[in-house]
Amino acid sequence: MTLPESADRPTPGHAQPFRDPDPFQELRYPNAIAAKKAVARTLGIPLARLPEDRIAALEALLSETLDKPAIEDFVRDLTVRYLPHASHWVQQEAPAATNAALDAFLDASFEGGRHERRVGKIMAVEAAMKVYAG
């Protein structure tokens, strides 16, 4: 017995296997929460302890991309150092530790132009301070 042409039969087609370009999530984080957990693990501190401007910068980055290299660049440029016995006035309360941290930062060699970006930021701040100082 043969079925009429109008009968619901599967039509032959070209089947393709599913190909995920990043099956092991080596290039991208699956979501923003996974990315935040990775950043916190890398920094060794909860993200809530970051300054508000850094949290806002991280949120903005995660709204644009979940690419691991971009997020790793952000974390590499984010150096947070806590002095446990100092409060808001770190330079007055722990001057030796603060100066040591600043010296280490300024003396560090950075690859890929990061040092130049940091020096550029410092120079911009210095220029702004001169403008405000009159």
Tell me, yes or no, whether 67 and 54 share the same domain: yes
Instruction: List Cβ neighbours of 110 (8 Å cut-off, separation of 6 or more).
Output: 118
User: How many domains, the chain?
Assistant: 2
Structure tokens at 118: 């940091």
From CA 125, how far away is CA 127, in angstroms rounded?
Answer: 5
Rg of the chain over all Cα atoms, to the nearest angstrom: 26
Average pLDDT of the residues of the chain: 79
Question: Which of 80, 101, 119 corresponds to the end of one domain?
Answer: 80
Domain of 94 in residue numbering reads as 85-134
- Over residues 21-44, the mean pLDDT reads 86
Q: Does one domain contain both 30 and 75? A: yes
Which spans in 10-113 are helix H?
Answer: 32-43, 52-64, 68-77, 90-93, 95-107
Q: Are residues 76 and 89 in the same domain?
A: no
Q: How does pLDDT run across 38-80, given as a tens digit for each residue?
A: 999 988 888 998 888 889 989 999 999 999 988 988 887 776 6
Q: What is the pLDDT of residue 17?
A: 65
If pLDDT is split at 50, 70 and 90, which confidence band does 18 have?
A: low
Same domain, 68 and 108: no
Q: What is the mean pLDDT of residues 86-106?
A: 86
Does 73 lie in the same domain as 28? yes
Residue 6 has pLDDT above 80, yes or no: no
- 103 in the same domain as 74: no
φ, ψ of residue 115 to 5 degrees: the values are -65, -40
Rounded to whole angstroms, the maximal C-alpha distance in the chain is 98
On whether both 76 and 106 belong to a single domain, the answer is: no
Considering the domain boundaries, does residue 60 fall inside one? yes
Same domain, 96 and 51: no
